[in-house]
Chain A
């Protein structure tokens, strides 16, 4: 048999925990980390006689995502019961959506190593989370060894976002997951905290020979709560399936779990154990009417989307795709940047982008801060850029001033106006643009570096740069580089 190329097919189901104060069907809080069961009310415990009441904010969140993905918003959306028994599922059914989810279709554009791709979505539906089993030693009512249940998480609102099987590599899956992660945070509908489980993925993975039309049998890898695990799990699973088939075996449809310590996926349950969830519309909840007015209201308050901003900045200011992507990585950074460019001249936007993706991003990262926690505000960066524009300081000095501002700002809040000029004056960092002053420095350097001068005159171009370096050093970086270049050339050219 000839060796044929394998094609990987991946679809993702992502659970995004929605950012609300209370649960999807009860008034209990959803804050993370409380003691077991203190955030579970009668409804969450499924006490007899309790009824769910929909928290409409979760529907608004779903609509927000739908609008951002260009999806169809279902005008009458229905909640359904998914029936199964598990100790952490208090009602014996999960309220979810089956036939009429809030969000249908849509797509998300991703970038994999410079290649753009459209990931098509199937749907996004609302549902409640289950509780958590605590497998420690507890005593049951008859004194028997037992497990514990923490129902704080039960009823936490989730949006399950499902893609079509359109991704063809682990890299694409990760790019999609990252992009979606950024988007839900951008929209303010999810805090994106993967460690706390606010954003987690199930990956449906199958392989087939290149050119085949039918999909291979898929396996679902559950609960991947980091991009690294997502990538590793898919890569392992792909290898496993290919090896299995090449060794003459067949892939069984099953649910698998990824063990990050061993770097492998393990079978959790096979399709034969798959349950019949007996979905049916929940009679306790009326169908949700999503009016055009409701959608319009949300649309009006939507922030500009990252792709929109990137396009705008690239055409208006000539920013690179790389810079604009960095600047739209999260909404805070983008808003910070937008506030900055409002305060500066159009010609300085590129320099502003460089400053933000360079020194600013580095400093934030180093100190573990988010954009709006920065001690240096857009107003300060604008002042800095102005001084760069009018030639008061050089690029190099600008970096130096930024560092000084950052250090000062961390000690006490910077005053809003004039702080950059203050630093320039106090530290004597004003650029030297006076020809006479620069000539004096050049002469001093030429006298001390006769060897370099000779080398340059005998044709070694490199010696010129060495001389410029010396001049800048002597001027403590303050000499205007353009003027230094011109004057030095003049002096070295035999008259």
Chain B
């Protein structure tokens, strides 16, 4: 059976009907992971633990104690700490590090929570800093759609794993686009929830005020199911929202206006804001066309498009690249070689131990951001950079609120182009930063945003549509995305590694 082609609902049915058990599913995916090792999507796999979890999940299902996700395998981005699997955050400085506890997200999805089986940890840009996965200390993950191209980043390993059918779904984290951009590059549906929705406890911090975890899967409904498991207040994270968790599936399949018999089109009444700044010169023509076609499709479903403006969109790049490195420079100070992680073998005194351990342990992009962050927080520069950026951050958030007076959601591209070829942009960091232009501002504002597949380039690479909602409107965004997916089949496109399945690993 092609278990890797099934979405979560199908897998759930298969498990419940006894067509397969969790042990069978888990070994199937572990087998695929080992067959497609050359993708470098996983950093650590512990088959014995996964299989043990699967056996327990089967027990739960047999005893009738299973939930909708029990027994279904999942892959976790290596940014989440885990007890069994190594937790490196893609960095050499944490090579061989294992945590004494599981991250809240991992715990909530695991056997003591939703009952899912962990397949292991996926590759990522070091400390989630990057847009191409080329910053992983363990080599980049390849894009299953075209092995010469990047899978996006920083959650590139998770994106590739799902796109190549190595896992039915995966977790990711998004600080400036790290769920949405790889989802777009690999043809997946990915959701970055509102800041505070999902606990950051056990997520290796990059930029604390921006980091947020979310699902990366085959469709909107799969993402809703994962949200049901991971969202909700965590007393271990002060920034997590003190709100009861909600059912993210509750709007699925219901018309936007929720007046069942009075509307002829399901999304009638939905106002889609189209920010003109998201369609500027830098946008690739094919991406523009695909996004515009998607907007037409939404109109076909009853929505109306309104032109809006987010005037500070361009400023989101310098703002983000001041604030995120500032927080990172401090967050990464704990990797000092004193208590855990890499310590240089060659030092004569304390200062040298710090310098060499960190110089050897961190990669170039991480060092660059630590330097930038240290600089912008320094005496004499703090006001000009950090405080100024905080001001613009507030303006950006306010700009969004102004647009939400005129529309319910915003739509535009996720990235200016499709996945690029390895090394194409890695020599110029600023060029790479510019790729984040459409994804940064929702993080700065703390808004939920998602990426859904909406097209394919002539280079046979998937294109993503970005949906940005107002605070805590995830369930509505998923409803909208789900309707689009009912009406289109972009999300059903398969990477060459999936179709035909017989060609496992043989595609070049």
Contact = CB atoms under 8 A, between A and B. Distances in A.
Nearest to B323: A283
B359 interface: no
A54 B329 CA distance: 23
A47 B340 contact: yes
A48 B333 contact: no
A142 interface: yes
B333 A286 contact: no
Contacts of A140: 343
Interface size class of A (residues with CB under 8 A): 20 to 34
A87 B378 CA distance: 22
Interface in B197-220: 200-205, 207-209
Interface string B340-382: 1001010000100010000000000000000000100111001
A92 B330 contact: yes
A466 B330 CA distance: 83
B208 A48 contact: no
Nearest to A284: B208
Nearest to B344: A142
B239 interface: yes
A91 B94 contact: no
B339 interface: yes
Contact of A48 (B87, B329, B343, B377): B87
Contacts of B386: 280
Across the A-B interface, give the 4 residue pairs with the lowest CB-CB distance, nearest first: A92-B333, A283-B209, A278-B377, A283-B208
B36 to A, nearest CB: 28
Interface stretch (B98-106, B395-403, B418-426): B98-106
Contacts of A280: 326, 330, 377, 382, 386
B202 A92 contact: no
Interface size class of B (residues with CB under 8 A): 35 or more
Nearest to B386: A280
Interface string A36-65: 000000100111111111100000000000
Given A87-B350, A93-B330, A278-B374, A48 B94 contact: yes
A328 B81 CA distance: 54
A280 B333 CA distance: 14
Contacts of A83: 329-330, 333, 377
A285 B238 contact: yes
A100 to B, nearest CB: 15
Interface in B55-84: 80-81
Nearest to A45: B339
B123 to A, nearest CB: 17
Interface of B: 80-81, 87, 89, 94, 97, 99-101, 103, 200-205, 207-209, 235-239, 326-327, 329-330, 332-334, 336, 338-340, 343, 345, 350, 354, 374, 377-379, 382, 386
Contacts of B354: 85
Q: Which of B236, B239, B329, B378 has the most CB of A within 10 A?
A: B236
Given A142-B343, A284-B208, A51 B238 contact: yes
A46 B377 contact: no
Contact of B378 (A51, A81, A278): A278
A291 to B, nearest CB: 16
Interface string A257-283: 000000000000000000010111001
Contact of B330 (A48, A54, A278): A278
A309 interface: no
A51 B330 contact: no
A141 interface: yes
B343 A141 contact: yes
A42 B379 CA distance: 32
Contact of B339 (A46, A49, A52, A285): A46
Majority SS at the chain A contact face? loop
B334 A91 contact: yes
A422 to B, nearest CB: 59
Given A48-B87, A48-B99, A280-B386, A286 B330 contact: no
A441 interface: no
A52 B238 contact: yes
Interface of A: 42, 45-54, 81, 83, 85, 87, 90-93, 140-142, 149, 276, 278-280, 283-286
B242 to A, nearest CB: 10
Contacts of A90: 334, 338-339
Nearest to A54: B238
B228 to A, nearest CB: 23
Contacts of B235: 53
Contacts of B330: 81, 83, 92-93, 278, 280
Contacts of A141: 343
A85 B203 contact: no
Q: Which of A42, A140, A280 has the most CB of B within 10 A?
A: A280
B208 A93 contact: no
B345 A48 contact: no
A53 B233 CA distance: 13
Given A51-B237, A280-B326, 17 more contacts: A47-B81, A48-B99, A48-B334, A49-B80, A49-B87, A49-B99, A49-B202, A51-B236, A52-B238, A53-B235, A54-B238, A83-B333, A92-B332, A280-B377, A283-B239, A284-B208, A286-B239
Given A42-B101, A52-B238, A85 B336 contact: yes
A53 B333 CA distance: 19
Given A47-B340, A87-B350, A142 B238 contact: no
A92 B336 contact: yes
A52 B343 CA distance: 25
Contacts of B350: 87
Nearest to B204: A48
Contacts of A142: 343, 345
A85 B340 contact: no
Contacts of B377: 83, 278-280
Contacts of B345: 142
A213 to B, nearest CB: 27
Contacts of B334: 46, 48, 90-92
11 contacts: A47-B340, A48-B87, A49-B87, A50-B202, A52-B238, A53-B238, A92-B333, A142-B345, A149-B339, A278-B377, A285-B239
A263 to B, nearest CB: 30
Contacts of A85: 333, 336, 354
B25 to A, nearest CB: 28
A49 B343 contact: no
B89 A48 contact: yes
B392 to A, nearest CB: 16
B174 to A, nearest CB: 16
A93 B207 CA distance: 15
